[in-house]
Amino acid sequence: MTKNRHYPTYFLFGTLLLYVVLYLLPGILGIGYSFTDWTAYSDQVHFLGYDHMFDNYVKAFSDAKYFGYLGNTLLFTFVTTIVKNGVGLALAVLLTKQVKLLNFHRAVLYIPAVLSALIVGMIFKSILNPAQGLLNSTLKIFGIKGLKWLTDPKIAFWSVMGVDIWKGMGYIMTIFIAGILSISPTYYEAAQIDGASGWQQFRAITLPMLAPTMTVTTVLNVIYGLRVFDMVYALTNGGPGFATEVLYTGIYKEFGFGRYAMGTTLSSIMFVFMALIGFFLIRAMNRNEVEE
Amino acid sequence: MKKTLALLLTVLMLLPLAACAQPAPAAEEAPAAAATQAPAATEAPAKQDITLTFMASQDWVQDAELALAEKFTQETGIKVDYQIVPSDQYPNLLQTKLNSGECTDIFCSQAGRFDIVTTLNVAKNAVDLSAESWVSTMEATAAAEVTADGKVYGQPMQDTSAVWAIAYNKKIFTDLGLAIPKNWAEFTAVCDAVLASGVTPIYEPVSDGWHQVLWFAELGAAYDKAEPGLVDALNTNTKKFVDSAIMKTAIDQIKEMADKGYWGDNYMADVYADQAAKMASGEYAMSLANQGLPQQVADLNAGLTADDIGFFVMPIADNQMLNVNPVGPTRFVYSGSKNIDAAKQYLAFLAQPENLQYMVDNVPKFQNLPFSGITPKYAGTVKEFYDMYAEKGTVLQTSVKYVNPQWMEIGKEIVSVIQGTEDDVTMLGNIDKNRADQATAAQDAAW
């Protein structure tokens, strides 16, 4: 309501319109379609009726198959978030020290993040081939019998997570490097004068000062983990059997089978789920920051 | 004034959106071919500046077809852009493209009188090709599987006379004193003997996702023989897969092969593209293949001739019937294509007798194509195999509705059974569930 604001309100309209048309409307329509019987086999789309409007949701939650997908998605999110944050932070701390060829090391670690997940998937599919793959062939030279990385159901999902961590940690590292570089060196100088050890400096200065950065990386990782699709698709396509199936490969398959209503139902569940997790995560982490 | 400016800006910002909705004419992308400058023969038709997009699963498009595509481009100026998709991803991708209305000018899919209606919805997604001149040269059995409501929609692209059977290395069998097994017990005895000799009995490429399903689905006629009326009962939904004891037996025997090491140690990562090379290397004694394999093997190993590879039917569930399937990968013209006439022209070109003959002569795994006017090249060993079995029957994926569309899904179910994360009853139950889902969506009165 102040007179001296910089821009008039209607400057917002263009952006708002684009946002509504491109994001909000398809999202709401998607949720709407989850209450219908929409499939590829019929031109007609019918509302399921008030008595049966949640049928698709009931089916989604009563089918053990989808629970398996959900479990895998959560496991993937949990593991990759923790490891990417941990390794990313460790690398960031290392690569903000006086290291030879500093930018070269940073670049090498960041490069996988630029590559397409599909290409990384294809390359690792070949590297992890149990018979002719580079990894097992190398292990063989040292007399070690390699594992069936992508074809043993007990290991496959961990291999997928491993490849994803390899690809994603450079990106997280870069964010942490930016965070660390923004911490004023005076804190460290003061701590050194007081005789603080490296670990003490890390625990008492770096870590607390990085809390806002940590919020960002965690939210990014969690949202990415919940939405993971391309890496699983390229490496295992949900196999062996259904061992590495995640929610988004499941949704993709529903659309592939022409079961649009079920696909939109699963997408809607994911949307609510991610909105809730994102909301509480940011709130919880912001509260911690204030307390500190 | 300010408001008008803002409105104008908004309209400008929205313009690109409208532009997105305008499909770019495909012709624009095709560079003006130098061919237009070529000294045209007087009778040559005017060359067209069109690029046809063509989508197929891995292994469906042969080098000989690519050579024909080049010849077609030289004759007409129309280019064909082949997009080959890994086979484990193809069915989903094709359905997604068809369902989103963004398919290529020509797409390939497995045909079948039920599936082209229920899965491909050809009446909506494909162009009626009934009026094309090559339609009358198609074999009746093959034509029936690409026809819906009396209209022909597809053009078969592979040899449908071929049968998926167990190809075996005759030299290994002779050295070990083995005879062709006639039932499951004899088959396991043969596999045990081969295994004991240090050779892996069977090359089974599970990695592609589709090959292992053949062991189960190709035996439709054997199931129907063991449980008379089964196929009809499945189509009228009066019986379910899970009710069939013979199918459970088949699944259990497939698992037994993997468990006993008949498929070797690396079957989960083995690929179909290596099949001929693996058989030629002598590391494996058998593989489930069609009748093109012997020639491919002979081409790779000078020490073997095509007649050194013989065939026998899969003795799973004691089957002794020849499993025939007049259906195979098929070309369709997409109804939403901007280049329907050019696509039809390309299919007509491929169906010219000299081009069909070129395919038969140059693709080792093709013995014949389902069109008249071709000289087939059946090898002695293949004739011998076809004559060995008096009884013939159609495979499950063609005789029973809603099986073929979930082929890749069945592949995953089989892997789950083999790896012990699922049992035979759960697997067959899941197939029933998927069939019911599809039948309900297709508003099939029997469900």
pLDDT in tens, A137-162: 999 999 998 888 998 889 999 999 99
Does residue A230 carry a pLDDT above 70? yes
Average pLDDT over residues B149-167: 92
Q: How near does any CA of chain B get to the CA of A152, in Å?
A: 8
pLDDT score recorded for residue B24: 36
- In this complex, the residue of A11, A150, A256 whose CB is nearest that of residue B96 is A256
**pLDDT band at B7, cuts 50/70/90?**
very low
Q: What percent of chain B has pLDDT over 70?
A: 89
Report yes or no: B207 and B266 within 8 Å, Cβ to Cβ: no
**Is A255 within 8 Å of chain B by CB?**
yes
The answer to whether A14 contacts B3, with C-beta atoms less than 8 Å apart, is: no
Is B165-324+380-441 in the same CATH topology as B50-159+327-362?
yes
Cross-chain CB nearest to A237 (options B89, B95, B413): B89
pLDDT class of A43 with cuts at 50, 70, 90: low
Task: Output B9 or B129, whichever has higher pLDDT.
Answer: B129
User: Does an H or E element contain A149, and which?
Assistant: none
Our measurement of the distance from residue B41's CA atom to the centroid of its chain's CA atoms, rounded to an integer in Å, reads 39
Which DSSP state fits A20? I
B-chain residues near A237 (CB < 8 A)? 88-89, 209
> How far is the alpha carbon of B250 from chain A, nearest alpha carbon, in Å?
18
Q: Which of B267, B296, B269 is nearest to B284 (CA)?
A: B267
pLDDT at B8 over 50: no
Position B281 pLDDT exceeds 80: yes
Please tell me which residue of chain B has the smallest CA distance to A38.
Answer: B441
A200–B contact, CB cutoff 8 A: no
Q: Which of A119, A242, A245, A260 is best to mutate for the B interface (most B CBs within 10 A)?
A: A242
From chain B residues 409-438, the ones with a CB under 8 A of any chain A CB are: 412-413, 415-416, 419, 421-422, 437-438
Residue A11 contacts B, CB cutoff 8 Å: yes
Taking CA atoms, what residue in A is nearest to B412? A241
- Determine contact: A259 vs chain B, CB below 8 A: yes
Whole-number average pLDDT of chain B? 86
User: For residue B12, what pLDDT is reported?
Assistant: 41
Q: If contacts are CB pairs under 8 Å, which of residues 200-219 in chain B contact chain A?
A: 207, 209
Rounded Cα gap, residues B424 and B213, in angstroms: 14
Label residue A289 by pLDDT band (50, 70, 90). Answer: low
Q: What is the CATH architecture of B50-159+327-362? A: 3-Layer(aba) Sandwich (3.40)
CB-CB: which of A40, A150, A260 is closest to B121? A40
Q: What's B165-324+380-441's CATH class?
A: alpha beta
Q: Which residues of B, range 320-359, sit inside 8 Å of A by Cβ?
A: none
Alpha-carbon span B222 to A178, nearest angstrom: 67
SS3 of residue B391 by DSSP: coil
Write out pLDDT tens, residues B178-197.
999 999 999 999 999 999 99
What SS3 state is found at A82?
helix
Domains and CATH numbers, chain A: 38-291 (1.10.3720.10)
Buried/exposed A241-279: b ≥16 CB within 10 Å, e otherwise: bbbbbbbbbbbbbbbbbbbbbbbbbbbbbbeeeeeebee
Residue B294 in tokens? 């012997």
pLDDT at B297: 92
Q: Which of A129, A153, A252 sits opposite B421 (nearest CB)?
A: A153
Residues 262-291 of A with CB under 8 A from B: none
**Helix and strand element counts for chain B (H, E):** 21, 13
| Rounded alpha-carbon distances, angstroms, from residue A99 to A104, A173, A189, B229, B386 | 10, 16, 19, 77, 72
pLDDT at B46 over 70: no
Measured CA to CA, the distance from residue A267 to residue A249 in angstroms comes to 11
- Chain B residues with CB under 8 Å of A255 CB are 95-96, 99
CB contact under 8 A, B89 and A233: yes
> What is the average pLDDT across A107-124?
91
Q: Which residue of A has its CA nearest to B414?
A: A241
Q: What ranges do the domains of chain B cover? A: 50-159+327-362, 165-324+380-441
CB contact under 8 A, B118 and A41: yes
* pLDDT tens figures, B208-266: 899 999 999 999 999 999 999 999 999 999 999 999 999 999 999 999 999 999 999 88
Instruction: Encode pLDDT of A171-212 as tens digits.
Output: 999 999 999 999 999 999 999 999 999 899 999 999 999 998
B338 exposed, middle or buried (CB, 10 Å; 0-12, 13-18, 19+)?
A: middle
* Rounded average pLDDT over B107-111: 93
Distance CA B350, CA B359 (A): 9
Label residue A42 by pLDDT band (50, 70, 90). Answer: low
Q: A47-71, pLDDT tens digit by residue? A: 888 888 888 898 888 888 888 888 9
Does B377 score more than 60 pLDDT? yes
CB pairs under 8 A between A and B: 99
Q: Where are the alpha helices (DSSP H) in B260-334?
A: 275-281, 293-300
Q: Using alpha carbons only, what angle is made at residue B343 by residues B116 and B353, rounded to the nearest 5 degrees? A: 90
B4 CB within 8 Å of a chain A CB = no
Mean pLDDT across A23-27 = 86
Sign of CA dihedral B441, B442, B443, B447: negative
Interchain proximity A21–B17, CB inside 8 Å? yes
Q: Which B residues, 7 through 46, put their C-beta within 8 Å of a C-beta on chain A? A: 9-10, 13-14, 17
Q: Is A8 on the interface with B (CB under 8 A)?
A: yes
Q: What's the pLDDT tens digit per position in B415-441?
A: 999 999 899 999 999 999 989 988 887
What is the distance between the alpha carbons of residues B422 and A240, in angstroms, rounded to a whole number?
A: 12
Between B396 and A280, the more confident residue is B396
Q: pLDDT value at position B39?
A: 40
Query: Is B425 or A270 the better-scoring residue by pLDDT?
Result: B425
pLDDT at B16 over 70: no
Distance from CA of A196 to the nearest CA of B (A): 54
ipTM of model: 0.80
SS3 string, B399-437, reads HCCCCHHHHHHHHHHHHHHHCCCCCHHHHHHHHHHHHHH
Alpha carbon A116 to chain centroid, angstroms: 15
Whether the CB of A14 is below 8 Å from some CB of chain B: the reply is yes
Query: Is A243–B91 a contact, with Cβ atoms under 8 angstroms apart?
Result: no
Residues of B in contact with A11 (CB under 8 A): 6
CB-based contact (8 Å) between A257 and chain B? Answer: yes
A16 in contact with B, Cβ within 8 Å? no
Q: What percent of chain B has pLDDT over 90?
A: 62
Phi-psi sector, B149: left (phi>0), alpha (psi -120 to 50), beta: left
Q: Report how far Cα A220 is from the mean position of its chain's Cα atoms.
A: 6
